[in-house]
Amino acid sequence: MKKIFFLLFISSLFFTANAQTISGVTEKFIDSVLNANYSAIEPGAVLLIAEEGKPIYQKVLGMASVELTVPMKEDYVFAIGSMTKQFTAIAILQLVQQGKLNLKDDIKLYMPDYNSHDKIITIENLLTHTAGIPSFTEMDTFSTLFNKDITLKEMVGIFQDAPLMFEPGTDWSYSNSGFNLAGMIIEKVSGMTYEDYLQKNIFDPLKMTSTTLGSKEKIIPRFVNGYQPSMVNYMPASEFSWTWPYAAGQIVSNVNDLLKWDDALYTNKILNQELIQQAFTNYKLSTGEYANYGYGWTVGEYNGVKIIRHGGAINGFLSDAIRIPEKHLYIVMLTNNTKQRPDGVMNEILNKLLHFDITGNAVPIDAEQLKKYTGTYQVNRTGGRLVSNYSDELIYRYFTIDSNNLYAQRTGGAKYKLTYLGNDEFYTTDKFSRIKFGHDAADKSIMTTNMFDVFGNYGPNDIGMKTDIPIPTERMEIELPQEVLQKYEGKYDFGGGFFIKIFIKDNKLFGQATGQGAFEMFAENETEFFLKIVDASITFQLNDAGETIGMTLHQGGDMHAKKVD
């Protein structure tokens, strides 16, 4: 297995700019969505909406520091994670404009020692996630080293010898490795560090005075604390080394600076419009399929409206930003709360502002009609990444009927109810995430599933073929004596700062992984337990004396841990 897919990712300030406003009805709607998702006493968020480069709505929620009860402020600074990629892409395009490189250049022109497996990997392949290079964040090594400093040469050594997942340009898989290579090319061509290059060519010209690269070696004014879920509520985010995210995710910023950044992309201030528009163009694979991605941004469309978007996730922080070029509209949300994803909130706001009127109203359908959708379908990609990047085993999505409703569950994932919208289409966890079933052209039987988000995907839609593999049978739980459960209590070390704590509460056995909520475990026999909220199980190992010495987590593969406490 290459990565654990486990259970992961009142007082507020509101003001409206003088130049433009939004309607009172829209304002109240946005307020209600935000207040329903963020509490005044928990880690929070800052949201900014702007038209023509001017704020029309801004709201601050929750706490910048829960420990010190410091409320959030609109100019506070957050880690923006993978939103960094758009800055890396524009930096590369600046060098193109200066005639110092070409997007079609083989990367070996700039890093001749890189192992490209006898394939031509272009700079454009790096910016579009079409190089086939596995993302280091999904490799085993990352889970054991992410909290340790690493040099760029050492990092490249981790992923460059792994086989390419596909011929460059023929497919798409999100790759932090590729963007870090792009950062190294910026350094090679410019003769500057990545940080110095961005400072001189982007941050300073745009007066982005609150934007820099994250680091433990300097004080970053107004930088908020990051938080992740805990057994009680929240805990400080797990420590990590800022040397890892680099050109794929190291920038820290605030919403005011990001508005300056977005507004500049409508001008020629830092790059000519021809090259900027190239970054916002949906990249076409050599197969003819569109990637739903440009250079550092996703590229989508809904009802004829072009949607440019990208989010970010890094320990303790989540971010999301949407730009609608034809409206000169920008929506950006930064959070220090990984318990609550911002993209769902952003979707609701976009739906309201542009009057898309996506309601998600259910269409009646009976259990007999639902039967044709049941079965096992292969999963090719999740979260924008090909399965081969994070698992040595095949991944499936199972569709079953329970109480006259259709449910879906991916290998190692949670089971969730689907809501029928008509024409073989359902929405999943929310009305913006969809599954559409496809028919065989000859006999009209259901043959495929198409997973997509209405406001933009990270990469091509996930098309899954129906298989003959039977749906797994439901597990049966048994009751074990307390003295048996007690010997499993303790802390289990998976390496790299990842632990699972096992404990008893109300005579039931629970587990809690680092930075995640607690989950109940159900016994199949004396040493094997399963989870109900996700497709996962745990086997405890005992020594000859009957003492617990370790566990194995089974979730899309096996992960072993030693008992350390």
The structural domains of the chain, with segments of one domain joined by +, span: 31-353, 367-467, 482-563
Residues of the chain with pLDDT under 50: 1-19
CATH of domain 367-467: 2.40.128.50
CATH of domain 482-563: 2.40.128.50
Residue type, 2: K
Q: Residue 381 gets which letter from DSSP? A: E
How confident is the model at residue 5, as a pLDDT?
34
The pTM for the full model equals: 0.88
In whole angstroms, give the CA distance from residue 79 to residue 367.
Answer: 46
Half-sphere exposure of 172 (CA within 13 A, CB side): 27
Contact 548/555 with Cβ under 8 angstroms? no
Residues 308, 9, 240: CA angle, nearest 5 degrees: 100
Is 144 exposed, middle or buried (CB count within 10 Å of its CB: 0-12, 13-18, 19+)?
middle
Q: Does domain 31-353 have CATH number 3.40.710.10?
A: yes
Contact 468/543 with Cβ under 8 angstroms? no
Structure tokens at 199: 């400072």
CA separation, residue 38 to residues 15, 41, 254, 312, 338 (Å): 18, 9, 18, 18, 11
Half-sphere exposure of 62 (CA within 13 A, CB side): 27
455 alpha carbon, distance to own chain's centre: 15
How confident is the model at residue 416, as a pLDDT?
92
Q: Do domains 31-353 and 367-467 have the same CATH topology?
A: no
How confident is the model at residue 442, as a pLDDT?
79
Contact 34/61 with Cβ under 8 angstroms? yes
CB atoms within 10 A of CB 365: 17
Under DSSP, is residue 60 helix (H, G, I), strand (E, B) or coil?
strand
- Which residues are within 8 A (CB) of 129 and not within 5 positions of it... i.e. 6 or more apart? 172, 173, 174, 175, 178, 291, 293, 384, 459
Residue type, 351: N
pLDDT (tens digit per residue) in 309-335:
999 999 999 999 999 999 999 999 999
Contact 500/509 with Cβ under 8 angstroms? no
The enclosing H or E element of 504 equals strand 498-505
Torsion angles phi and psi, residue 349, rounded to 5? -65, -45
How confident is the model at residue 414, as a pLDDT?
84
In whole angstroms, give the CA distance from residue 62 to residue 155.
Answer: 36
